[in-house]
Chains A and B, each alone.
Chain A
């Protein structure tokens, strides 16, 4: 809640007590960055995608071993994701580190603070958070024209997609993040919000958590019409595991064979590609809205 207020406040002119080069990250920390960083290390695939999208190819000094997009990321030096190796991180001589708040270990953060390497923590709870993060990074790297253009294009595409499916009405959706035990997305996660934007009604809306374990009783009671399985190179629900859902033949989604694969890379990474993820999600939930448009509108 506190973080969301800051997201709103960052754009407000009355924060004059903060110098223009001081930035507030998603953990609420004030970070002063005198000039645009020249050697940045990204500690999450989503962050790597944001940095590349801002055209910072030359400034990226290191990425994680899970960063596989854009292809240029594969050639960058690698550091760990949740447990980055501090030595290999320091060997890259970063003057700026961008990290996901939920996965970065506290002692790594403490050590980087001690070494006076600024760390900017990101955490996306809503789609708007992701857009704000891109704009913040644009300001930090003096790339506001690029970030403004990017976020504007993302906003336009989001409203275009949600406009397309708006007429179709809401369909009940279950997003299967993990089958054993069943883990899904709930309010407080941006994917939950994206399901809504894509014309879906998340059946886990009643849970208080962003990534709840959902009871099968709830699933049967709420009766999803579409099952979404994120599928990707690194993670995802394989087809054979999807077949297990066939035993719940009381579900509308099973009776009407509404099992849909969505690229987990595009959807599970809170970066610039979520608009692609949103379109995939919208196509999965409302294929009829895209019937006359079988190809992706943009790459």
Chain B
């Protein structure tokens, strides 16, 4: 049973900043109370079904574009043949190989990575009540990046179950960062939000410095490859790796989606949440750990893709309101679709070479976000 909530002011600081300049405070709260009260099951269903349809259409469309265009009929034909044929008797046709072994894994990875980054962003922004919180704020991503850098430094190129060891090293690095966060979480009886933020920023600084150090002692030829990885790249993962990643991330997304009610309360203020019988410390610890574990996996597979985790939740909040029951699933769908489109641009724009996807997300999404900010301001005044 979800208690009716008025809008939690602190979870929406960008709004507050712009709103306080233009409209009286009372009006702003009215505006959100209005949005809040309109989240009926019908509105929720309509929006989610619409966004799901858009996501599916995006994925299908992105599957068609690449170094060569694959028509809809041919595409579904190949997928059908692959499903119906015996396992192991892979299609030898080049188009089929490209679609099934390169594009499909890559689009799936992109969608799941984007969805995860956005969901983690929503969670952390609510939990830390900070507008600038994103999946990287915990220092987990730079931990993962450090893991990969160390692997490159020592020439670790081993494969485990025919899967590259680099994601694994990245994940170990993120676990190391996670250990520090967890240590903090258990050593403080109560985990103050500002220490989490501060520790994340400091961890980021330390790890970034170590990465820089490794880059500076590496032969430029080798650091070149490492820098390319750091800039974010979705390369087609091998099937076993992709399956593990998908199960892991889907479980994480499911758990985050189950917490939308608690997030609404947490964003409202910890004291208020506690007074409603929420064990806020446990919720904070669990969700921080979950976010960190998911960030580690995403960074290990796709490098450092900034922007999505921070900006998608804000953009979705501006359009659909701040209720996490809608904000979370909408961010998941839009985040996934956004990264899928960005990666399609990254691999087609300069084909046959590729652009680092992190650059595309920022360049394509940034102006749109600025437009949203301005547009919202106009509409409200």
CB-CB under 8 A from B166, the residues of chain A are 180
**Which residues 98-138 of B sit at the A interface, judged by CB distance below 8 A?**
98, 101-103
Q: Is B353 in contact with chain A by the CB < 8 A criterion?
A: yes
Q: CB within 8 Å of A: which of B217-261?
A: 219-225, 228-229, 233, 235-236, 238
Is the pair A213, B66 in contact by a Cβ cutoff of 8 Å? Answer: no
A179 lies within 8 A of B94 (CB): no
Number of chain B residues close to chain A: CB under 8 A: 41
Q: CB < 8 Å: which of A178, A220, A246 contacts B102?
A: A220
Q: Which residues of B contact A145 (CB under 8 A)?
A: none
- In the assembled complex, B84 has its CB within 8 A of some CB on chain A: no
- Check B228–A220 contact: CB distance below 8 A: no
Whether B157 contacts A220 by the Cβ 8 Å rule is no
Interface string of B324-354 (1 = CB under 8 A from A): 0000000000000000000000010011111
CB <8 Å contact, A214 and B353: yes
Is B94 a contact partner of A215 (Cβ separation < 8 A)? no
A108 → B minimal CB distance (Å): 13
Complex CA gap A186/B164 in Å reads 25
Within 8 A of B (CB), among A70-112: 81-83, 103
- Flag if B98 contacts A221 (CB, 8 Å): yes
Contact status A244-B162, CB under 8 Å = yes
Given contacts A182-B235, A209-B353, A244-B159, contact A177 B216 (CB under 8 A): no
Q: A82-B220, A179-B164, A215-B67 are in contact. Are A241 and B351 (CB under 8 A)?
A: no
Nearest residue, chain A, Cβ from B232? A181
Q: Are B354 and A181 interface neighbours, CB within 8 A?
A: yes
**Binary flags per residue of B193-206, CB closer than 8 Å to A gives 1, else 0:** 00000000000000
- Residues in B neighbouring A211, C-beta threshold 8 A: 224
Of the candidates A81, A83, A213, A216, the one whose C-beta lies within 8 Å of that of B219 is A81
Q: B41: shortest Cβ distance to chain A, in Å?
A: 43
Assembly CA distance A249 to B165 (angstroms): 20
Query: Known interface pairs A82-B216, A207-B353, A238-B157. Does A246 touch B162 (Cβ–Cβ under 8 Å)?
Result: yes
Q: Scoring A residues 192 to 218 as 1 if CB is less than 8 Å from chain B, else 0, what string do you get?
A: 000000000000101111011111111
Chain B residues within 8 Å of A, Cβ to Cβ: 66-68, 90, 92, 94, 97-98, 101-103, 155, 157-159, 162, 164-166, 216, 219-225, 228-229, 233, 235-236, 238, 347, 350-356
Cβ–Cβ contact A178 & B228, under 8 A? yes
A148 within 8 A of B: no
Q: Interface residues of A: mostly helix, strand, loop or mixed? A: loop
Q: How far is the CB of B215 from chain A (nearest CB, A)?
A: 9
Residues of chain B with a CB closer than 8 A to A241's CB: 157-159, 164
The answer to whether A213 and B157 have CB atoms under 8 Å apart is: no
In the bound assembly, the distance between CA atoms of A183 and B356 in angstroms comes to 12
Chain A residues in contact with chain B, CB under 8 A?
66, 81-83, 103, 177-183, 186, 204, 206-209, 211-218, 220-221, 223, 234-235, 237-238, 240-241, 243-244, 246-250, 264, 268
A270, chain B: closest CB distance, angstroms: 12
Chain B residues within 8 Å of A217, by CB: 66-68, 98, 102-103, 347, 352
Task: Tell me the complex Cα distance, A214–B66, Å.
Answer: 12
In the complex, the answer to whether B353 meets A213 with C-beta atoms within 8 Å is yes
Contact call B94/A221, Cβ cutoff below 8 A: yes
Rounded to whole angstroms, the CA-CA distance of A238 and B236 in the bound complex is 20
In the complex, the answer to whether B354 meets A220 with C-beta atoms within 8 Å is no
- Once A240-B159, A248-B101 are accepted as A-B contacts, the answer to whether A214 and B236 lie under 8 Å apart by CB is no
